[in-house]
Structure 1
Amino acid sequence: MADQYAQNQARGEPRRIPSLRWEESPEGPIVVLLDQTRLPADEVELSCTDVPALVQAIKTLAVRGAPLLGIAGAYGVALAAARGQDVEEAASLLGRSRPTAVNLAYGVRRALDAYRTAAGKGSAPAAQAALAAARELHQQDADASARMAGHGLALLDELLPEGNHRILTHCNTGALVSGGEGTAFAVALAAHRAGRLRRLWVDETRPLLQGARLTAYEAARGGLAYTLLTDNAAGSLFAAGEVDAVLIGADRIAADGSVANKVGSYPLAVLAKYHHVPFIVVAPTTTIDLDTADGAMIEVEQRSGHEVTYVAAPHLLTAEGGASGGVPVAPLGTPAYNPAFDVTPPELVTAIVTEAGALSPVTGGGIAELCVRSRQVTIS
């Protein structure tokens, strides 16, 4: 990603720490992660020397976001192979760590397939094949991010030709979730660079505040005009006519175009529909799961109620979703409903933007065509 960093610095933007990288240390290869639970206060890196450590980082959300989870999964398989660990068991552990994010399973499978194909040549060539597959996926995601930003900005300009876009976003979809500059946030960043972003409205994203901690962090570093709001204030923004478009990412897109994303996305889609505001999903085609027929088939991760009943620093979260500390905000023993995601039906989605182009209206046939087109883009 050196070229991207150089471009950012040429624009006067701060050099960012990569969200994930492979490093050859004297003790052996490691996967190094920017610990997202410590942001925005501290830019701290985690070094994972084995797959259990990487799985822990995934479960505690130190590394997160659909595209980056796919990359992490691929590097995890490569790490197990390079360290002489049980690659099949490592792949199984990684694939189960976040069930809704289809990219994770995709990245694991891609590196595992490369490893299996080369296994007959010996352990070292097989490990190198897994690492090459992970690196290829990493670069392809960066390329996809750039193409999504272009397609997304073109769509915004088509839908909102007057410019001065006021965009509402939810959760975090920037460089922290990607090999490049992100998905939905990358579109907002492209609009900012083109002088066509008037305001980025940032949902705080309860209960773990990925919007407040991470999107605001990226917006501030990128020099975007942004404003943070509580999730339940979004309706008043729509009512006041202050939102021109909603841009979100996705953790899984079913074959019919249903979109699973961070919980709170579906209410925004309903608000957008009522107020005649475009609701746009930006995600790479690796997020599309043609084996999942519709939204009802998407497995939604349920996280610990502790995240709702306590206010805790995210870096205190355990792999089970609890926390080792925090301030209680509900009576002891209060049950809590805490799905990590919700599902938006395709009829509420104005468009899906991928590296292969934008799809509108969103239909099952169109989803299948996007997947075909993406393979052509990758090959070319």
Structure 2
Amino acid sequence: MGGIVQSETLLAIKYSRGSLEILNQLLLPFQPVYDKITTVDDGHDAIRTMRVRGGAPAIAVVASLSLAIELNVKSFVNKAELNQFVKEKLSYLKTSRPTAVDLFNTIGKLLSLSENFLNDTVLNVEKSKLKLIEFCEAMLQTDVENNKNIGSFGSEFLKNYYKSSSLSEGLTILTHCNTGSLATAGWGTALGIIRSLNEAKNLSHVYCTETRPYNQGGRLTAYELVYEKIPSTLICDSMASALLKTKNVNAIIVGADRVCANGDTANKIGTYQLAITAKYHGIPFLVAAPSTSIDFSLENGSLIPIEVRNGSEVSKIKGLDEGDGKLRTLKISADGINIWNPGFDVTPADLISAIVTEKGVFEKLKDKNVFNLKKEYF
């Protein structure tokens, strides 16, 4: 596993068996620093504090690999002890972020795998441990492959949508938050579609939102776009409608933290208003997400738990002091003001043009404003 090729783009996760490092995204775009993850506690902290991009597939990968790292150096008397250890560690990892369904799906698979090993008379405890580690490692490669499929399906959908009329000069895309290599194991979901369009020379320009209050767009997406020399422009969140009115934007593409069976989608706060303005201006609004982000148990978005985060993320901002080159945190709001800081919002299915997964593109049922997402399709 040590020689695996993870991605052709910027790496947020560096892994070989026994070694895990994550790019500390709190320090980007100013300081590209990789933090070592040696325990599940380290992995939990990286996810909770958003050193790993919050809510995206990278969370599930880092969570599982932090377990693999700890399993690699630990010995167990029997499979029952191994299973109990896995259950306790996964239960703790579950508390790091409540909205990201990728994390919960991965934890469920690992728990089932560990339980199945208990009844397997062929596997001893060491082989069981090794298979758990290999499962965690396989997630890294699978995520990159899935993202490339999402990129391919999404770019083809847009090319077919616009035929040849807009492709001569390339498409102009608006995206929100960070959905690229920094949010996944590599390539990206929404940004993966943008990369695929750019690779095929069907991209003219990308606009990315600042994405307040955590500024993932201004710090991370902008960093990736500049890093890969993709023509791009940063805007404030409040400029999106004016942008669509004055510029020739062809589509809005976003990621997803959780998609319900009817297509209602939870994503970074600010996504809902982008879907509304896309509908008003008559352009496609695409959700790009791996099938692991689909929660078939939830009928609609009203059932999605929405994480409300600390108000200090709104009242304070971190930036680089150009005088001494140090990162500083500054207060930007009045003392005593109440702050509401939901990390996500839910976009109704009727505002979404298509959901792009690694299995293909799903559109709404004919004459209906909902999707029909079923497990058997995946």
TM-score between the two structures when normalised by the length of structure 1? 0.87
Q: Aligned residue for 2:323? A: none
SS at match of 1:177: coil
Q: Shift of the alpha carbon at 1:205?
A: 0.3
Residue 80 and residue 118 in structure 1: after superposition, are their counterparts in 2 closer, same or farther (change >3 A)?
farther
Structure 1 equivalent of residue 33 of structure 2: 44
Query: What does residue 74 of structure 1 align with?
Result: 64
**Structure number having the greater helix percentage:** 1
How far off its partner does 1:76 sit?
2.9
C-alpha displacement of 1:83: 4.1
Q: Number of residue pairs matched?
A: 350
Instruction: Give distance in 1, aligned partners of 2:377 and 2:262.
Output: 17
- List runs of 5+ in structure 2 lacking aligned partners: 75-81, 321-326
**CA separation in 1, counterparts of 2:362 and 2:91?**
33
1:112 CA drift (Å): 2.9
Match of 1:251 among 251, 257, 280: 257
Structure 1 window deviating more from structure 2 (31-40 vs 298-307): it is 31-40
Partner of 2:129: 127
Structure 1 residues 93-140: Cα deviation after superposition (integer angstroms, max 9, x where no partner): 111210100001112222233233334644432321211111222222
| Cα distance, 1:46 vs structure 2 | 0.9
User: Take 2:43 and 2:19, find their aligned partners in 1: how far apart are those partners?
Assistant: 10
Q: Specify whether residues 3 and 48 from structure 1 end up closer, same or farther in structure 2 by C-alpha distance, changes over 3 A only.
A: closer
User: Partners in 1 of 2:296 and 2:91 — Cα distance?
Assistant: 21
The one-letter code sitting in structure 2 at the alignment partner of 1:144 is N
How far is the alpha carbon of 1:40 from its aligned partner?
1.2
Q: Secondary structure of the equivalent of 1:214?
A: helix
Residue in 1 that maps onto 2:277 = 271
The letter for the 2-side match of 1:309 is S
- What residue in structure 2 maps to residue 340 of structure 1? 343
Aligned sequence identity (%): 33
Unaligned runs of 5+ residues in structure 1 are 9-14, 315-323, 375-380
How far 1:54 moved relative to its partner?
1.0
User: 1:19, CA displacement in angstroms?
Assistant: 1.7
Q: What does 1:241-320 correspond to in 2, within 5 Å?
A: 241-312=247-318
1:320-346 per-residue CA deviation (whole Å, 9 max, x = no partner) reads xxxx97211122232211001000000
TM-aligned CA distance change 1:144 to 1:105, over 3 Å: same
CA contact (8 A) 2:174 2:253 kept: yes
Residue 144 of structure 1 is matched in structure 2 by: 146
In structure 2, distance between residues paired with 1:283 and 1:20 = 19
1:169 corresponds to 2:175: yes
SS of the counterpart of 2:31?
Answer: coil
Q: Which residue of 2 aligns with 1:321?
A: none
**1 CA distance for matches of 2:6 and 2:45?**
29
Alpha-carbon contact 2:6-2:140 (below 8 Å) kept: no
Q: Partner of 1:92 in structure 2?
A: 91
Distance 1:196 1:145 in 2: 19
Q: Kindly indicate whether the alpha-carbon contact (under 8 Å) linking 1:116 and 1:126 is maintained by their aligned counterparts in 2.
A: no
C-alpha distance in 2, partners of 1:172/1:357? 22
RMSD: 2.1
Could you tell which deviates more after superposition, 122-131 or 295-304?
122-131
TM-score normalised over the length of structure 2: 0.87
* Cα distance change of structure 1 residues 79 and 114 upon mapping to structure 2, 3 Å threshold: farther
Structure 1 residue corresponding to 2:334, chosen from 326, 331, 335: 331
Q: Tell me if structure 1 keeps the 8 A contact 2:354–2:364.
A: yes
Task: Provide the rounded CA distance (Å) in 1 between the counterparts of 2:69 and 2:5.
Answer: 26
Q: CA deviation at 1:202?
A: 0.5
Structure 2 counterpart SS, 1:100 = coil
Asked if the contact 1:258/1:295 (under 8 Å) is kept, the reply is yes
- For the residue of structure 1 that corresponds to 2:205, the secondary structure is strand
- How far does residue 21 in structure 1 lie from its aligned partner after superposition? 3.4
1:366 offset after TM fit, Å? Answer: 2.7
Amino acid at match of 2:100: A
Instruction: Give the 3-state SS of the residue equivalent to 1:97 in structure 2.
Output: coil
Amino acid in the other structure paired with 1:22: Y
Q: How far apart, CA to CA, are the structure 2 residues paired with 1:254 and 1:365?
A: 9
- Greater mean deviation of Cα atoms: 36-45 or 80-89: 80-89
* Residue number in structure 2 paired with 1:235: 241
Distance 2:108 2:64 in 1: 8
Q: What is the one-letter code of the residue matched to 1:146? A: K
Change in Cα spacing, 1:295 to 1:329, as seen in structure 2 (3 Å) is same
**Structure-2 change in CA distance of 1:123 and 1:36 (3 Å):** farther
